[in-house]
Amino acid sequence: MGVPAETGTLAQKSFFSVECVVQEDVVQTMQEGQTIKHEVYGLGVVTSSDQERTAVDFDDHGPKLFVTSIMTAELIGEAPATPPKTKRRRKASTAAKAAKKAAAAAAAGRS
């Protein structure tokens, strides 16, 4: 006797592979300097944005980092023609700290 036709077909079906086509979602990045309104943090300015992360400096809550693909915010203002440069504070030198302490001590001594 021969092999039943069903067995051969069943064996063939187990070797088929299914190909899945994965499409990447297009993530829209924001421009540096755009003003946004976030539902939790309020008003802020975008400091940097790429496909993965968006950094925003909020007025009341300081800088925050978000995942760009799931971030939700309302666009309030367009980015300026030239993005604002971020200003960094310098740490006071030890000499400046000593002079400030001496001035405070002198002022306290006079009172």
Residue 31: predicted pLDDT: 86
Q: Looking at the whole model, is its pTM more than 0.75?
A: no
Tens-digit pLDDT profile for residues 7-23? 544 444 444 434 444 44
- DSSP letter (8 states) at residue 70: G
Burial of 61 (C-beta count, 10 Å sphere; 0-12/13-18/19+): middle
* Banded pLDDT at 4 (limits 50, 70, 90): low
pLDDT at 66 > cutoff 70: yes
Length of the chain: 111
What's the number of domains the chain is made of? Answer: 1
List the CATH number of the domain containing 47: 2.30.30
Instruction: Tell me if 65 is assigned to some domain.
Output: yes
Does residue 38 form part of some domain?
yes
In a domain, 44, yes or no: yes
Is the residue at 105 inside a domain?
Answer: no
What per-residue confidence (pLDDT) applies to 62?
92
List the domain range (segments joined by +) for residue 41.
Answer: 27-78
21 falls within a domain: no
Q: Is residue 88 situated within a structural domain?
A: no
pLDDT confidence of residue 96: 77
Confidence at residue 54, expressed as pLDDT on a 0 to 100 scale: 94
Q: Which residues contact 49 (CB under 8 A, 6 or more apart)?
A: 29, 30, 31, 32, 55, 68
